[in-house]
């Protein structure tokens, strides 16, 4: 606003202060609203710029991700994975190009739209602010003038009405006094004759006092009138001074407004010219940069296409090589699996043969025990039928226990052997899986480090390119006038530098790649050799442990059999010694029986009890020691010892009753026992001989089967090596053909790229010419608009000056009319006052003369009084008539003044009403336009932001989809690497068991002619460089470099 809002002073008959303040507050609020709208538009522009920056950042991120993804090779992943990666890369490139185009279009449209909306809103807001300020100033000035005028008029009218009321009251009072005096003198003339002297004296005193009061009142009224005249004169002068100051202020404001508009127009012209020049320069630089970027992009696209073609061809060759290696690995794995299965079958057959042998041995032992039991039963049947039944039951239990113990022992040994083999196999598998995981982890880590290093080098290379491009842009900005001359040289230098950097980068990449592949190959060979050696050692250790286990089992079994035989022999020896001792004691007892039969019987009984007790104690200790030493395996032997002890006790008990019969039976039993033991020993030797022969036969069959399997495996290995050599020759031939095709495509792409660069240069020159023509047309249009604005400002300035002069002239004319009317009013009031004073003086003189002559002329008083009253009445009527005429003249003058004032006021009010109406229409139109402009700008900004947000959301969704797709592809790559690693490890597995020397010599003699049968240019399979599954093969061109 031009000036701060001020409060109006209250006055009679003016504008309502609250309405004026409300209107001014509304204008102030509207201006504040426009300013807030302008700020919101600026914020919308900033938000649009921020959205554009975010989109550019998103595009940069997508480009970096695509660059990262494009940096890694796809060779070695299989045809299906390669196709998937190719589709993903094409889709990512299309998404990146589409996102780049959409973001560029959206950024340009957003910038143009926000700039246009901001410019229109700024211009419209400035116009509305200027118009509102002018209208507010005009309204405030008119309000102040109207309030001042109405205040002056109200004060003058008040004073005039007070004067007229005072004069009318004075005349009425004088007339009433004179009438009352005449009536009193007429009515009381007879009564006053007696007191004429007193009345005359009183009349004189009254006249004197009235004269003094009239004189004092006249002086006071004259002084009051002089003061009022001076005050009115001062007010008129102040009003003239105020009007002059207002005129000067209006003129100064109009001149200042015109000067400000001219300066703004000049500044805007200079700013527009500079902005147009800068925009033209920026457009030219942008076109040049766009041309250069398109050129570089075309070259980069060509190089990328060549690189992709080379990668594709190398990937195809590598896939074929991998397919051949996979087939060879599959064949080797199948051959080794068959060999391993044959070994497992041989081991299973040997174990089955061993189990069959042991089962046969158990059957023979059972048959032998059955035969012994039959003999025992036949011998026992001759003695007692009851003893035969008991012995049969005991013998059956012993046989069942021994059979169950033997079977349980065999089952436990077999389960323990199977558990040991399963544990060792599981441990071996865990070791292989752990080593494979460690190897995969190390390869993945090395590959990640290699990819990160490549990415960092590529990022550094891109940063160097960006820095060089920025430096080149600065040089172009500084040396714009020399750009056409230096462009070809700088472009050639830049291209050569890029080629050198690219060659150096590719050389470093190829060198690092070769080193990395060599390191990986050496590590893989070392790892395979370590795995092979560990596997050989592990299998040898397993074989040694198995053999040791078998030896330990056989030795333990032999020791166990020996211990059993020794214990049995010891037990039998002890029984024989005890029996001999017992026989000797019986013989001695028989010799002394005749002499001391009763004493012998008692001694024999005591000795038998003691011996039985000692024998029981000794047998219990031996049984406990035997149970602690043998456990479950000696249960049958303990049962037999117990049965024999029971039998011995039974024999001892029987010997009490029939000693001779027992001795005979004991001798016969001993003879049968000896014979049976000899038979058992002969049968055991025969069984062991049979078992040993069966084992030797099984080992011979197993050895023959192993030799046959190893011979078949060696034949299969030779066939696989021949297939690998043939596949290597085919791959080398295809690689050479693909290299020739790639060189031919590179030449075609170079010609196409140079033609496109020439077309872009011509298009850039045409766009530059069109931009120059458009800039010149805009300059001419802006010059015409500035001239129109200058003319409009000049007309506005003249209108403001004329309005100020008109207001000043109206104020001077009104002041002159008011001065003339005041002068007429003063003359009329002076005449009336003089006439009133004369009348009052004459009345006072007449009253005084009448009072002085009343005493002398009492008789003539009534007549004279009547005559004087009539004369006074006539004079009073004449005075009233003259006063009425003067009042009529004053009323006519006042009516004329009121008419002139009302006409001037009406004209001013009409002018002000028209101005207010126009101002209201302008303000309303401005508000409507501002609202429309703001709504349109807000709507456009909302649409632009919504479109930008939708596109951002779409880009984010697409980016997430691409990220998820590449994550899934990463998992596929990882699985393929794991499969390739497992296949590579399985290839290097050695033969588990050694081949005899004569078979080795035969195999070497068979393998020796193979290299001569291969092609001369084909390398031996052992000399081929190994490649990790995650690494791409080196191209022939890189090896030459």
pLDDT, tens digit (0-9, with 9 covering 90-100), for 688-715: 777 777 777 777 777 777 777 777 777 7
Of these ranges, 218-222, 641-645, 981-985, the one predicted with the greatest mean pLDDT is 218-222
State the pLDDT at residue 817.
Answer: 75
pLDDT at 997 over 60: no
Integer Cα distance of 822 and 229 in angstroms? 8
- What is the b/e burial string over 623-640, where b = at least 16 CB atoms within 10 angstroms of the residue's CB? beebeeebeebbbbbbbb
861-987 helix and 483-591 helix, angle to the nearest 10 degrees: 50
> pLDDT higher for 915 or 232?
232
How sure is the predictor about 637, in pLDDT bands with cuts at 50, 70 and 90?
low
State residue 727's pLDDT score. Answer: 74
Is the pLDDT score of 69 beyond 60? no
| pLDDT classification of 812: cutoffs 50, 70, 90 | confident
CA angle at 378 for the pair 376 and 379, rounded to the nearest 5°: 65
Report which DSSP code applies to 990.
-
> Among 457, 578, 552, 555, which Cα is nearest to 509's?
457
The arithmetic mean of pLDDT across residues 863-892, rounded, is: 71
Question: In the structure, what pLDDT confidence band is assigned to residue 72 with cuts at 50, 70 and 90?
Answer: very low
**What average pLDDT score do residues 173-179 get?**
69
Q: How confident is the model at residue 579 (pLDDT cuts 50, 70, 90)?
A: low
pLDDT in tens, 928-947: 665 665 566 556 656 655 66
Mean pLDDT of 480-501: 65
> When comparing pLDDT for 886 and 999, which is higher?
886
Q: How many CB atoms lie within 10 A of CB 725?
A: 19
First to last CA, the chain: 78
Instruction: Look up residue 720 and give its DSSP letter.
Output: H
CA 136 to chain centre: 53
Q: Does the pLDDT at position 780 exceed 70? A: yes
Percent of the chain with pLDDT over 90: 0
Q: What is the pLDDT of residue 1008?
A: 42
Q: Which residues contact 499 (CB under 8 A, 6 or more apart)?
A: none
In the DSSP assignment, the letter for residue 366 is: H
Distance (Å, rounded) from C-alpha 193 to C-alpha 362?
A: 198
Burial label for 851, CB within 10 Å (0-12, 13-18, 19+), is buried
* CB proximity list for 204: less than 8 A, separation 6 or greater: 848, 851, 852
- CA 791/CA 796 separation, integer angstroms: 9
Whole-number pLDDT of residue 993:
46
- CB neighbour list of residue 989: distance below 8 Å, 6 or more residues apart: 336, 532, 535
Contact 951, 70 (CB under 8 A): no
- In degrees, rounded to 5, the angle at the alpha carbon of residue 96 between the alpha carbons of residues 90 and 100 is 145
pLDDT score, position 1016: 36
Q: Give the confidence band of 14 by pLDDT, cuts at 50, 70, 90.
A: low
Q: Is 147 exposed, middle or buried (0-12, 13-18, 19+ CB in 10 A)?
A: buried
> Is residue 1006 a contact partner of residue 718, using CB atoms and an 8 Å limit?
yes
pLDDT of residue 305: 78
pLDDT at 584: 73
Mean pLDDT of 573-598: 67
Question: Average pLDDT of the chain?
Answer: 68
Sign of CA dihedral 967, 968, 970, 974: positive
pLDDT for 1012: 38
Torsion of CA 5, 10, 12, 13, to 10 degrees: 20
Say if CB 663 and CB 583 are below 8 A apart: yes
Phi–psi pair at 548, nearest 5 degrees: -65, -40
Tokens of 383: 């003695």
| Residue reference for tokens 């037999």 | 640
pLDDT tens profile 607-625: 666 766 766 666 666 656 6
Residue for token digits 């005075």? 879
Q: What are phi and psi of 857, to 5 degrees?
A: -115, 55
* Distance separating alpha carbons of residues 772 and 777, to the nearest angstrom: 9
Banded pLDDT at 660 (limits 50, 70, 90): low
> Of 210-219, 589-598, 678-687, 766-775, where does mean pLDDT reach its minimum?
589-598
- The H or E element containing residue 60 is helix 17-71
Distance CA 776, CA 767 (A): 14
Least confident of 299-303, 510-514, 773-777, 850-854: 850-854
Tokens of 862: 């009534």
Under 8 Å between Cβ of 865 and 182: yes
pLDDT number for residue 769: 74
| Structure confidence at residue 415 as a pLDDT band (50, 70, 90) | confident
Backbone angles phi, psi at 162, to 5 degrees: -65, -45
Confidence check: pLDDT of 88 > 60: yes
Tell me the CA distances in angstroms from 777 to 183, 277, 770, 772, one per residue in order: 105, 13, 11, 9
Contact 410, 355 (CB under 8 A): yes
Q: Does residue 1015 contact residue 729 with C-beta atoms inside 8 Å?
A: yes
Residue 644 has pLDDT above 60, yes or no: yes
Average pLDDT, stretch 340-359? 76
Residue 161 has pLDDT above 70, yes or no: yes
For residues 517-533, give the mean pLDDT: 71
Q: Which is more confident, 799 or 411? A: 799
d(CA 520, CA 526): 10
> What integer pLDDT is reported at residue 585 of this predicted model?
66
From 191-195, 209-213, 676-680, the region with the lowest mean pLDDT: 191-195
Largest CA distance in the chain: 236
- Residue 319: per-residue pLDDT: 77
Write the pLDDT tens digit of every residue in 239-284: 777 777 777 777 777 777 777 777 777 777 777 777 777 777 777 7
């Amino acid at each position: 606003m031009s000036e701060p809002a001020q409060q109006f002073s209250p006055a009679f008959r003016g504008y309502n202060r609250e309405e004026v303040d409300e209107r001014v507050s509304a204008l102030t609020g509207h201006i504040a609203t426009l300013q807030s709208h302008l700020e919101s538009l600026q914020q919308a522009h900033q938000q649009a710029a921020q959205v554009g920056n975010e989109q550019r950042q998103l595009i940069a991120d997508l480009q970096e991700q695509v660059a990262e993804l494009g940096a890694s090779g796809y060779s070695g992943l299989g045809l299906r994975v390669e196709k998937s990666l190719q589709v993903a890369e094409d889709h990512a490139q299309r998404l990146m190009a589409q996102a780049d185009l959409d973001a560029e279009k959206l950024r340009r449209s957003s910038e143009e739209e926000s700039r246009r909306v901001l410019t229109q809103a700024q211009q419209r807001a400035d116009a509305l602010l200027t118009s509102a300020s002018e209208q507010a100033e005009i309204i405030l000035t008119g309000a102040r003038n109207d309030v001042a005028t109405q205040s002056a008029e109200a004060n003058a009218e008040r004073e005039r009405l007070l004067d007229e009321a005072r004069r009318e009251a004075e005349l009425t009072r004088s007339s009433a006094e004179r009438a009352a005096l005449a009536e009193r003198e007429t009515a009381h003339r007879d009564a006053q004759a007696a007191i004429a002297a007193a009345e005359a004296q009183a009349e004189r005193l009254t006249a004197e006092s009235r004269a003094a009061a009239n004189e004092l009142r006249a002086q006071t009224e004259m002084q009051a009138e002089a003061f009022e005249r001076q005050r009115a004169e001062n007010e008129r002068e102040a009003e003239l001074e105020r009007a002059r100051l207002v005129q000067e202020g209006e003129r100064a404001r109009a001149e200042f407004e015109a000067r400000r508009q001219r300066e703004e127009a000049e500044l805007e012209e200079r700013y527009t010219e500079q902005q147009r020049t800068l925009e033209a320069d920026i457009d030219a630089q942008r076109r040049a940069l766009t041309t250069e970027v398109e050129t570089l992009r075309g070259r980069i696209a060509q190089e990328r296409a060549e690189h992709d073609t080379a990668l594709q061809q190398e990937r195809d060759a590598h896939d074929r090589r991998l397919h051949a290696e996979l087939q060879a690995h599959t064949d080797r794995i199948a051959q080794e699996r068959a060999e391993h299965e044959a070994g497992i079958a041989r081991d299973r057959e040997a174990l089955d043969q061993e189990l069959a042998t042991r089962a046969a041995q158990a059957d023979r032992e059972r048959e032998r025990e059955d035969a012994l039991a039959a003999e025992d039963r036949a011998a026992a049947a001759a003695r007692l039928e009851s003893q035969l039944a008991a012995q049969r039951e005991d013998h059956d239990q012993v046989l069942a226990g021994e059979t169950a113990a033997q079977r349980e022992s065999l089952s436990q040994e077999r389960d323990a052997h199977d558990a040991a083999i399963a544990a060792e196999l599981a441990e071996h598998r865990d070791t292989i899986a752990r080593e494979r995981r460690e190897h995969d982890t190390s390869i993945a880590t090395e590959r990640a480090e290699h990819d990160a290093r490549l990415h960092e080098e590529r990022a550094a290379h891109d940063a160097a390119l960006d820095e060089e491009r920025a430096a080149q842009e600065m040089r172009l900005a500084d040396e714009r006038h020399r750009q056409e001359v230096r462009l070809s040289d700088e472009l050639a230098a830049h291209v050569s530098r890029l080629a050198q950097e690219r060659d150096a980068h590719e050389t470093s990449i190829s060198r690092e790649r070769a080193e990395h592949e060599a390191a990986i190959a050496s590590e893989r060979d070392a790892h395979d050799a370590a795995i092979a050696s560990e596997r050989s050692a592990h299998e040898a250790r397993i074989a040694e442990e198995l053999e040791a286990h078998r030896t330990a089992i056989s030795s333990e079994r032999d020791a166990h059999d020996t211990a059993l035989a020794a214990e049995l022999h010891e037990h039998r020896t002890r029984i024989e010694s005890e029996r001999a001792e017992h026989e000797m004691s019986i013989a001695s007892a028989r010799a002394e029986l005749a002499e001391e039969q009763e004493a012998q019987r008692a001694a024999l009984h005591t000795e038998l009890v003691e011996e039985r007790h000692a024998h029981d104690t000794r047998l219990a200790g031996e049984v406990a020691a035997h149970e602690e030493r043998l456990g479950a395996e000696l249960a049958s032997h303990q049962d037999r010892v117990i049965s024999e002890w029971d039998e011995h006790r039974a024999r001892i008990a029987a010997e009490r009753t029939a000693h001779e019969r027992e001795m005979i039976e004991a001798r016969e039993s001993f003879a049968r026992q000896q014979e049976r033991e000899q038979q058992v020993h002969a049968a055991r030797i025969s069984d062991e001989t049979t078992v040993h022969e069966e084992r030797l036969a099984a080992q011979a069959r197993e050895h023959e089967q192993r030799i046959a399997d190893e011979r078949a495996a060696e034949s299969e290995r030779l066939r696989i090596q021949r297939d690998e050599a043939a596949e290597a020759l085919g791959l080398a031939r295809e690689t050479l053909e693909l290299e020739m095709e790639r060189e031919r495509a590179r030449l075609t792409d170079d010609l196409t790229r140079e033609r496109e660069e020439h077309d872009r240069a011509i298009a850039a020159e045409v766009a530059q010419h069109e931009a120059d023509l458009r800039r010149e047309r805009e300059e001419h249009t802006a010059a015409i608009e500035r001239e129109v604005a200058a003319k409009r400002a000049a007309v506005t300035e003249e209108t403001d000056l004329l309005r100020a002069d008109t207001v000043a002239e109206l104020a001077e004319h009104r002041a002159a009319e008011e001065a003339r009317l005041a002068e007429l009013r003063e003359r009329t009031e002076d005449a009336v006052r003089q006439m009133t004073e004369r009348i009052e003086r004459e009345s006072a003189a007449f009253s005084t003369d009448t009072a002085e002559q009343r005493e002398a002329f009492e008789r003539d008083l009534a007549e004279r009084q009547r005559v004087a009253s009539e004369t006074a009445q006539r004079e009073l009527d004449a005075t009233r008539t003259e006063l009425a005429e003067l009042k009529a003249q004053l009323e006519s003058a006042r009516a004329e003044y009121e008419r002139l004032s009302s006409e001037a006021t009406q004209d001013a009010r009409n002018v002000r009403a028209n101005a207010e109406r126009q101002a209201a229409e302008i303000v309303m139109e401005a508000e409507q336009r501002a609202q429309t402009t703001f709504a349109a700008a807000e709507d456009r900004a909302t649409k632009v932001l919504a479109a930008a947000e939708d596109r951002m959301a779409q880009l984010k969704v697409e980016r997430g989809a691409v990220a998820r797709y590449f994550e899934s592809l990463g998992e596929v790559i990882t699985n393929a690497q794991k499969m390739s690693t497992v296949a590579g490890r399985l290839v290097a597995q050695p033969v588990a068991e050694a081949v005899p020397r004569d078979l080795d010599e035969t195999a070497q003699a068979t393998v020796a002619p193979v290299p001569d049968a291969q092609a001369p240019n084909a390398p031996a399979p052992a000399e081929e460089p190994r490649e990790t599954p995650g690494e791409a093969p080196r191209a022939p061109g890189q090896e030459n470099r």
